Amino acid sequence: MDAQDKKNSKLRARDLGLPYCGRTGRYNAITDVAGIEVGFHTIIEDTPRPGRKKPVRTGVTAILPHAASPTPVPVYAGVHRFNGNGEMTGTHWIEDGGTFLGPVMITNTHAVGTAHQATIKWMLDRYASTYDTDDFLWLMPVIAETYDGVLNDINGLPLTEADVHRALDRLSSGPVPEGNCGGGTGMITYGFKGGTGTASRAVEFGGREYTIGTLVQANHGQRDWLTICGVPVGQHLRDGTPQSQLQERGSIIVVIATDLPMAPHQLKRLARRAAIGIGRNGTPGGNNSGDIFLAFSTANAHPMAHKAPPTLAIEIVNDEHLDPVYLAAVDSVDEAIVNAMLAAETLGGTQFDRFRIDAIDPGELIRTLNLYGRTTLRC
């Protein structure tokens, strides 16, 4: 199964009337930031592969800034580790150098190595004119993960380099599929089916309009923690089944993109705000969770270091005016997680599964929010 061309068939948070604040971009997605493209490859097989006992439900997500450029374009970036039980490669250099190069890939925990190798091969081919030189150039792609072993045969290592290349070859702008797609295919959020989610905010800064775009791979939280629009819905939506009471065993990756000209130290501060965004949904950052966040800016495009002049002139925003930007990031992270849950579809429950993970019921969610008068509120 491939979700790259699949349109979201379920209503998103705003379609349901949930009272999220702020003005979104055209697609309410990370692709509202100009130049960013997203690609997916999704694998859903309800019958185990030969010699294996569990089904395969996994995939990989690709996010590429400056996607139209024929050469790699460094982007300024910052990272934050809220809870470190997870992996995002390349972060040591982002901390020191303040940039990364190429796509950001998100997959399952045991596919990080495969995705890393495959992404390097793809970049060597895509940017052959850059890397087929005598220069001693190297690549350090950003690969992030969350654990999908409840619903996926993660130990069977089903994801291949060809699968990673399929996601990268399908990069596109426009609406972004959500829920059971790409790296989010087998993920669980607050005891409900989770996965990939996205949102965006338009912000005015210095008389100009900019965009904050967020993409999450949500695989975190316990049912009783779940809070939506300030309502403790997890306390109400209890079905008594074991899978709804699963202990926190997952993680969440948050990618925040913007076209606002921000320096690495500012982007690190922006990445920290993702912790507040995920906290709005109720998580305290469980001990077993890997909550890792990346923020980057497509502004201040400049050549790779070996081609750049000795000094670079960049534009950066004034820190004193960043509060609305921080709020936009927090809001978009919060909404992206709920979009992921609403788009997700029930998975599991076959003779080969230990669990069936149900999608959240939008009708029950609305009824619960109505008990608190939340769906009638507007910003």
Tell me the average pLDDT across 137-164. Answer: 97
Backbone angles phi, psi at 7, to 5 degrees: -80, 150
Tens-place pLDDT, residues 159-182: 999 999 999 999 999 999 999 999
Listed in order, strand segments (DSSP E) in the chain are 37-45, 56-64, 75-84, 99-100, 104-108, 142-146, 188-189, 192-193, 195-205, 208-219, 251-258, 290-297, 347-348, 356-357
Sorting pLDDT into bands at 50, 70 and 90, what band is 3? very low
Q: State residue 303's pLDDT score.
A: 81
Given CA atoms 293, 237, 187, 297 in this order, what sign does their dihedral have? negative
So where are the chain's domains?
Answer: 30-369
Model confidence at 308, pLDDT cuts 50, 70, 90, reads confident
In which band, very low, low, confident or very high, does the pLDDT at 378 lie, cut at 50, 70 and 90? low
User: Which of the residue ranges 5-9, 205-209, 298-302, 333-337 would you say has the lowest mean pLDDT?
Assistant: 5-9
What mean pLDDT value characterizes the chain?
A: 93
Percentage, residues of the chain above pLDDT 90: 86
User: Tens digit of pLDDT for each residue in 262-278?
Assistant: 999 999 999 999 999 99
pLDDT digits (tens, 9 = 90+) for 341-356: 999 999 999 999 999 9
Q: Give mean pLDDT, residues 37-62.
A: 98
| Contact criterion met (CB below 8 Å) for 139 and 124 | yes
CATH architecture label of 30-369? 4-Layer Sandwich (3.60)
3-state secondary structure of 306: helix
Q: Which amino acid is at 70?
A: P
Query: What integer is the mean pLDDT of 360-379?
Result: 87
Q: Which residues are catalytic?
A: 251, 289, 291
Residue 318, pLDDT above cutoff 60: yes
pLDDT category at 104 given cuts 50, 70, 90 is very high
Of residues 313 and 364, the one with the higher pLDDT is 364
Residue 312's pLDDT is 86
Label residue 55 by pLDDT band (50, 70, 90): very high
pLDDT(218) > 50: yes
d(CA 188, CA 344): 9
Please name the residues in contact with 309: beta carbons below 8 A apart, sequence gap of 6 or more.
Answer: none
Report the pLDDT value the prediction gives residue 4, as an integer from 0 to 100. Answer: 44
